[in-house]
Amino acid sequence: RKEVEQDPGPFNVPEGATVAFNCTYSNSASQSFFWYRQDCRKEPKLLMSVYSSGNEDGRFTAQLNRASQYISLLIRDSKLSDSATYLCVVNMENSGYALNFGKGTSLLVTP
Amino acid sequence: DARVTQTPRDKVTEMGQEVTMRCQPILGHNTVFWYRQTMMQGLELLAYFRNRAPLDDSGMPKDRFSAEMPDATLATLKIQPSEPRDSAVYFCASGSGDGANYGYTFGSGTRLTVV
């Protein structure tokens, strides 16, 4: 079982829609959580960290549920430029430094 | 903006040949990672260094892969001999000591095709 699991999608949504992605992780001792964004044929880029109390950055809201080992990302008012793959990331078991990536959820925002 | 620089950008090679990929981490970053990305497996950690010392290379096939950091400005990943199943995008990422809290910066990758 992969340590970080995501629904691969694709999620096809119209501009302006709200879309939510979920992710589960297996390491109950994980302390660091992130969402990365990856455009086609590009490198992953940090979108936002995920904090225990939940956090928001503009149209993006991240939530963490430690009891259920579940992370979510909500995108409001979707833009065409939000089309990308969203990677759920958790620090690796037995490692304070290395990050474990989910396979990603593909989002396509259409006009 | 500070960048992680990887070379070459693309590499096509024949099976059995040696391949060397290079990475220049962001100046001042002391943690460097090598990841491999394929459609099937996603991003997999191959090896990583902290203050130039290898901390974990358990994700690497030891018989053909080697990773080194000869100095603070250069990390290398070598495959010898290369095989078609090594075809993937290889990413280098770097960060400072608290990168596990604030994330890491990736280079643009080396797209390797072994024929």
In single-letter form, the type of residue at position A105 comes to T
Percent of chain B predicted with pLDDT > 70: 96
What is the band of A102 on the pLDDT scale with cuts at 50, 70, 90? Answer: very high
> C-alpha angle with apex B70: B69 to B76, nearest 5 degrees?
50
Q: Is the peptide bond before B70 cis (omega within 30 degrees of 0)?
A: no
Tally of CA atoms within 13 A in the half-sphere of A95 that contains its CB: 21
Q: What is the pLDDT of residue A83?
A: 98
Predicted confidence (pLDDT) at residue B98 exceeds the cutoff of 90 = no
Taking an 8 Å cut-off on Cβ atoms, the answer to whether B101 and A36 are in contact is no
Q: What is the pLDDT of residue B102?
A: 75
Select the residue from B30, B35, B43 to test the A interface by mutation, using most A Cβ atoms within 10 A.
B43
For A88, which residue in chain B has the nearest alpha carbon? Answer: B43
**How confident is the model over A48-79, as pLDDT tens digits?**
999 888 899 999 999 999 999 999 999 999 99
Q: What is the pLDDT of residue A93?
A: 61
**How confident is the model over A11-44, as pLDDT tens digits?**
999 999 999 999 999 988 888 899 999 999 999 9
**How confident is the model over B2-37, as pLDDT tens digits?**
899 999 999 999 999 999 999 999 999 999 999 999
Q: What is the pLDDT of residue B57?
A: 85
Q: What is the pLDDT of residue A107?
A: 97
Predicted confidence (pLDDT) at residue A96 exceeds the cutoff of 70 = no
In angstroms, the separation between the Cα of residue B14 and the nearest Cα of chain A is: 23
Q: What is the pLDDT of residue A41?
A: 93
What is the band of B96 on the pLDDT scale with cuts at 50, 70, 90? Answer: confident
Element (H, E) at B99: helix B99-102
For B10, which residue in chain A has the nearest alpha carbon? Answer: A41
Task: Please list every residue in chain B whose beta carbon sits closer than 8 Å to the beta carbon of residue A96.
Answer: 100
Predicted confidence (pLDDT) at residue B55 exceeds the cutoff of 90 = no
A68: nearest Cα among A40, A38, A17, A26: A26
| Rama region for A3: left / alpha / beta (φ>0; ψ in -120 to 50; rest) | alpha
Furthest CA-CA distance within chain A: 44
Residue B56 pairs in a beta bridge with: B48
How much is the average pLDDT of B67-78?
Answer: 96
Q: Which residues of A touch B (CB under 8 A)?
A: 31-32, 34, 36, 42-46, 49, 87, 89, 91-92, 95-104
Q: What is the pLDDT of residue A94?
A: 66
A93 against B74, higher pLDDT: B74
- Give the phi and the psi of residue B11 in degrees, each rounded to 5: -145, 125
